[in-house]
Structure 1
């Protein structure tokens, strides 16, 4: 399945996975950009960077086989396999970034919005009883097994 076929599939878990990749990129960029404020926003920036690292391994399963990680971390990432679990994870991460507004308005809100959008897509996929499907482009559905 090519990228355009994935977009035409009407499977919201694929849409959520691509929004997750977008949130990884935005998370790294905004986390680094806001870490230089030298005030309380540094806390949200560090948490956003940590969330982005976790999301890299959650959304790109091929990296679990390539990168040396601990067994505990691998077990944690492998527990987040259903659409409901991913929706919850993205929801918590997104709400936490939106809460940065309580201190000061910053670009971290954009990361929260994208995280919530990805979580919403996973929730829609779960409510529509769509199976979780991992994108072939990102190392899902057989690509990771071919390496071993």
Structure 2
């Protein structure tokens, strides 16, 4: 299945996964950009950076095979295999970034919005009863198993 066919499949988990990739880039960039603020914004920018790395391992399963990680970390990441669990973690990360507005209005709002969109895509996939379908481009559906 090509990338265009994946987007035409109307499976919301594919949309959620690609929005998650956008979240990785956005959280990393905005985390670094906002780390130079004073006060509690630094805390939220560090959390945003940590979220970027968590999403990286959640959305690209191939990395669990090739990166040296602990078994506890692997078990934690594998909890987010279903659409509902992914929606929950994205929603939690989004709420944390929304809370950052109470400290100072910064560009972390963009991360909060995109994280919320990813959560809504995964929630829609769960509500519609669509099974999680990982993108082949990102190492899903057999690519990670070929490395074993």
TM range (shorter): over 0.9
Q: Distance in 1 between matches of 2:145 and 2:80?
A: 19
Which segments of 5 or more consecutive residues in structure 1 lack a partner in the other structure?
Answer: none
Q: Distance in 2 between matches of 1:79 and 1:70?
A: 15
**Superposition deviation, residue 99 in structure 1:** 1.1
SS of 1:104 mapped into structure 2: coil
Say which is worse superposed, 109-118 or 36-45, in terms of deviation.
36-45
What TM-score do the two structures reach when normalised by structure 1? 0.99
SS of 2:139 mapped into structure 1: coil
Q: Distance in 2 between matches of 1:143 and 1:85?
A: 22
2:118 corresponding residue in structure 1? 118
1:82 corresponding residue in structure 2? 82
SS of 2:94 mapped into structure 1: helix
Q: Distance in 2 between matches of 1:2 and 1:60?
A: 17
What TM-score do the two structures reach when normalised by structure 2? 0.99
Structure 1 position 31 matched with structure 2 position 15? no
Measured on the aligned residues, the alpha-carbon RMSD in Å equals 0.6
- 1:73-129 deviations in Å (ceiling 9; x for gaps): 000001111111000000010011011110111000000000000000000000000
- 1:11-55 deviations in Å (ceiling 9; x for gaps): 000000000000000000000000011221000000011111111
Q: Distance in 1 between matches of 2:82 and 2:111?
A: 22
1:139 corresponding residue in structure 2? 139
Which segments of 5 or more consecutive residues in structure 2 lack a partner in the other structure?
Answer: none
After the TM superposition, list the runs of 4 or more consecutive aligned residues in structure 1 that deviate by more than 4 angstroms.
none
The aligned length equals 148
2:60 corresponding residue in structure 1? 60
**Superposition deviation, residue 2 in structure 1:** 1.0
